[in-house]
Amino acid sequence: MRLARNSREVLTDEQRLLYDEISGGKRSLGRQSFSLVGEDGALEGPFNAMLLSPKVGFALQALGTSIRYGTGLSPRVREGVILMVAAKWDCEFERRAHEPIALESGLSHDEIKDIGLGETPSDLDTAEMAAFEVSRRLIDNGDLSDEEFYRCSNLLGLEAIFELSTLVGYYSTLALQLRIFRV
């Protein structure tokens, strides 16, 4: 780890506000496969790093909360795409945190294995297949061709394309931060 793990008591007032929002806000009410706060009183995973810059941390955690709990994406698609990002960045924390949620969301062990290998599961419906295709192109290429964009936006709608691009960007950001700080 390249980052000190600080309990709430040693944080600045602004850091404490962010700590409280993460540990006791909407995020804390959702399904968690890991505790948001460790036994040492420090935030776990990417959340500890967010305390380095509370203003950015507030915005980032609010975006994450919106992505997890406020989109029209199905839980299967959301969790599958998160695992696609985790596979791309070889992010153990994201994989460990989201595989149990993916199982609860209806993805099978075999589908999760396929995603981890960079493959698209074969048992997806048409909309899921389009969502996974959009996400794979964004993860691998950072763009969609005109044909991909129009075909997938006709199947999913522009709102879903926007939400998928935000989901990929958010979890890619977390994976990068987790790597940099060796979490």
Structure tokens at 176: 């990068």
**Separation CA 112–CA 100 (nearest Å):** 10
Domains, the chain, in order of start with CATH, read 8-69 (no CATH), 75-180 (1.20.1290.10)
Look at residue 57 in the predicted model and tell me its pLDDT. 97
pLDDT greater than 70 at residue 30: no
Band of the pLDDT at 25, cuts 50, 70, 90? confident
Band of the pLDDT at 28, cuts 50, 70, 90? confident
Query: Can you tell me the mean pLDDT for 105-122?
Result: 95
DSSP string, 112-145: HHHHHTT---SS--HHHHHHHHHHHHHHHHSS--
More confident residue, 27 or 16: 16
Q: 48-97: per-residue pLDDT in tens?
A: 999 999 999 999 999 999 998 899 999 999 999 999 999 999 999 999 99
Phi-psi region at 4: left, alpha or beta (left = phi > 0; alpha = psi -120 to 50): beta
**Separation CA 178–CA 93 (nearest Å):** 8
Phi and psi, residue 37, nearest 5°: -120, 130
**Separation CA 29–CA 115 (nearest Å):** 27
Band of the pLDDT at 33, cuts 50, 70, 90? confident
Query: Can you tell me the mean pLDDT for 112-120?
Result: 95
How many alpha carbons lie under 13 Å from residue 181 in its C-beta half-sphere?
A: 20
Which residues have C-beta within 8 Å of that of residue 22, sequence separation ≥ 6? 28, 36, 43, 47, 50, 61
Structure tokens at 20: 């409280």
